[in-house]
Amino acid sequence: MATLKVGLVSPEREIWSGEAKQVVAQTIEGQLGILAGHAPVLGVLLDGSVVKIQPADGGDEVVAMVGSGFFSVADNEVAILAEQAELAGEIDVEAARLQLEQALAGDGDGMNDVSVTRRRAEARLRAAGHES
């Protein structure tokens, strides 16, 4: 079976790389499910979304929260370049809940910052398997 070569990176580090059967990511255009042989595509990641990667070796699904960034597919290679990314197992659920509470209690000044903080906290909780 054909596979995808996948790299998920943030400015700080490489989050995950390897061979995968499938990648699912949310772009501003909608959700994309990528399999081997997919047509080339370039998309903008939806800030505060979740990326799911199904490793080719049959291992556990890789789930990560991502901030804004880009998603590209070409020649069975998938590059996910995120401003912020965190694997599900690395997420501090209590800190994410506190962050969400603080964002929801925002006073209205700087609503864009509150909105980004809220979306990212919600995505961290979803990635960790805890709905907000």
The domain spanning residue 56 has which CATH number? 2.60.15.10
pLDDT at 17 over 60: yes
One-letter amino acid for residue 39 of the chain: A
Q: Are 102 and 79 in contact (CB under 8 A)?
A: no
- pLDDT at residue 108 tops 90: no
Q: Are 62 and 53 in contact (CB under 8 A)?
A: yes
132 lies in some domain:
no
The answer as to whether 53 is a domain residue is: yes
Query: Could you tell me the sign of the dihedral formed by the alpha carbons of 112, 118, 122, 127, in that order?
Result: positive
Give a yes or no: residue 107 inside a domain.
yes
109 and 50 in one domain? no
Is the confidence at residue 110, as pLDDT, over 80?
no
Q: What percent of the chain has pLDDT over 70?
A: 92
For the purposes of burial, counting CB atoms within 10 Å of the CB of 73, is it exposed (0-12), middle (13-18) or buried (19 or more)?
buried
Is 9 a domain residue? yes
As for how many domains the chain has, the answer is 2
Give domain status of residue 104, yes or no: yes
Find how far residue 125's CA is from the centre of its chain: 12
Return the beta strands (E) in the chain as ranges. Answer: 4-9, 14-27, 30-35, 41-45, 49-55, 62-66, 69-74, 77-82, 85-87
Whether residues 100 and 76 fall in one domain = no
Say yes or no to pLDDT of 23 above 90: yes
pLDDT digits (tens, 9 = 90+) for 66-85: 999 999 999 999 999 999 99
Domain that holds residue 27: 4-87
